[in-house]
Amino acid sequence: MKKLFDLLDKPKPFAPHTTDFWDDEHISKGMLEAHLAPDVDAASRTAAFMDASADFIARRLPPEHYEKVLDLGCGPGLYAKRLRERGYKVKGVDISRRSIRYAKEQFPGIDFVCQDYLSLTETNQYDLVLLLYCDFAVLPPDDRKQLLDKIRQALRRDGRFLFDVFTPQAFLNREEIHTWFKEQSGFFRKEPHLCLESYIPYGDDVHLERFILIDENGNVEAIHNWHQAYTYDRLRQELLSSGFDIESSYGDAKGSVSNKKSETLCVIAF
Ligand SMILES: C[S@@+](CC[C@H](N)C(=O)[O-])C[C@H]1O[C@@H](n2cnc3c(N)ncnc32)[C@H](O)[C@@H]1O
């Protein structure tokens, strides 16, 4: 009960999950299914979006000049596959063993590695680094800084970093909510459990989606999905403080023109 009561307090910004999220045996099964669902924006964008996104990347940063690509948080390799088809040499890195196993089986010939991207050690290797589907902004500020340093180090001198983030527009009109439901078996747990679900806006464009899971034996865990929403200026300031600047920006990762209603911001940084 003490752990439950502690977890029900408003956590400090970017407090981690109390359990494995990306590499959990059960969650990663549902996650892979969500990645592979072609018609929904779930763990990956829709197949049509990813096709358009790969076309945009090939148009804007063609393989003739940006051949060597490092895809961070590559999931089951859905972008890596599309980029190889367009002439790139891709290495995919992901922390989920299940996703990397799938990617290796399905797309032989592409280099996939199961690794935490915060522990990258490569230097001066890549023409282009990708971090797609708004993954940058789920990290705590110190990890974002560390990741930018690693990416800077992995890129060749004239390389590019393309990634996307959510904007404040994506959270507009969302109000704090606390609810609960009981499941026999669900996305987070195979066994029967209670899920206490919250959405908590923190101010300063930080948002938390929290799932507290209680199983029949009284075990309690919390999943904390954080998001830092970014305006263009905020993102540019953060990039500048890590030695990057923005070359061009778009409303999404398929190169749409950005406008006031865009819920994502995609940038090419150098
Ligand atoms: C929202 S999914 C996006 C997957 C892929 N980029 C796409 O668009 O299809 C985020 C991915 O990042 C991976 N991930 C999360 N944290 C990571 C870390 N620290 N190191 C490597 N991969 C990570 C997850 O396993 C997951 O596959």
End-to-end CA distance of the chain: 49
Q: pLDDT band at 3, cuts 50/70/90?
A: very high
Cβ-based burial of 42 (10 A; exposed 0-12, middle 13-18, buried ≥19): middle
Beta pairing partners, 90: 69
C-alpha of residue 183 to centroid of ligand 1, in Å:
26
Residue closest by Cα to atom 10 of ligand 1? 73
Between the alpha carbon of residue 12 and those of residues 82, 207, 214, 226, the distances in Å are 39, 12, 21, 11
Domains and CATH numbers, the chain: 2-20+170-227 (no CATH), 37-166+231-269 (3.40.50.150)
The fraction of the chain above a pLDDT of 70, given in percent, is: 100
Q: Cα of 112 to ligand 1 centre, how many Å?
A: 13
SS3 142: helix
The mean pLDDT of 143-155, rounded to a whole number, is 98
Q: What is the pTM (predicted TM-score) of this model?
A: 0.97
User: How many other CB atoms are found less than 10 A from the CB of residue 160?
Assistant: 24
Backbone angles phi, psi at 139, to 5 degrees: -85, 150
| Span from the CA of 190 to the centroid of ligand 1 (angstroms) | 22
Q: What angle do CA 258, 260, 265 make, to 5 degrees?
A: 45
* pLDDT in the model for residue 109: 95
Site to substitute for ligand 1 among 32, 49, 70, 74, most atoms within 8 A of C-beta:
74
How does pLDDT run across 24-52, given as a tens digit for each residue? 999 999 999 999 999 999 999 999 999 99
pLDDT in tens, 73-95: 999 999 999 999 999 999 999 99
Report pLDDT for 58: 98
- Nearest ligand 1 atom to alpha carbon 35: 9
Q: Determine the pLDDT at residue 189.
A: 95
Give the pLDDT confidence score for residue 77 in this predicted structure. Answer: 98
pLDDT in tens, 116-131: 999 999 999 999 999 9
What is the pLDDT at residue 133?
A: 98
Residues 6+ apart with CB under 8 A from 181: 194, 195, 197
pLDDT, average across residues 136-145: 98
Evaluate whether 89 touches 16 at the Cβ level (below 8 Å).
no
Q: E-strand spans in 132-263?
A: 155-166, 177-183, 193-203, 206-215, 220-228, 246-250
Q: What is the pLDDT confidence band of residue 154, given thresholds at 50, 70 and 90?
A: very high
**What digits encode the pLDDT tens for the residues 203-223?**
999 999 999 999 999 999 999
Number of H helices, E strands in the chain: 7, 11
Interstrand relation of 193-203 and 155-166 (parallel, antiparallel or unpaired): unpaired
**Digit-coded pLDDT (tens) for 218-257:** 999 999 999 999 999 999 999 999 999 999 999 999 999 9
Q: Where are the alpha helices (DSSP H) in 114-175?
A: 141-154
Question: Ligand 1 centre and the CA of 160: distance in Å?
Answer: 19
Supply the mean pLDDT for the chain: 97
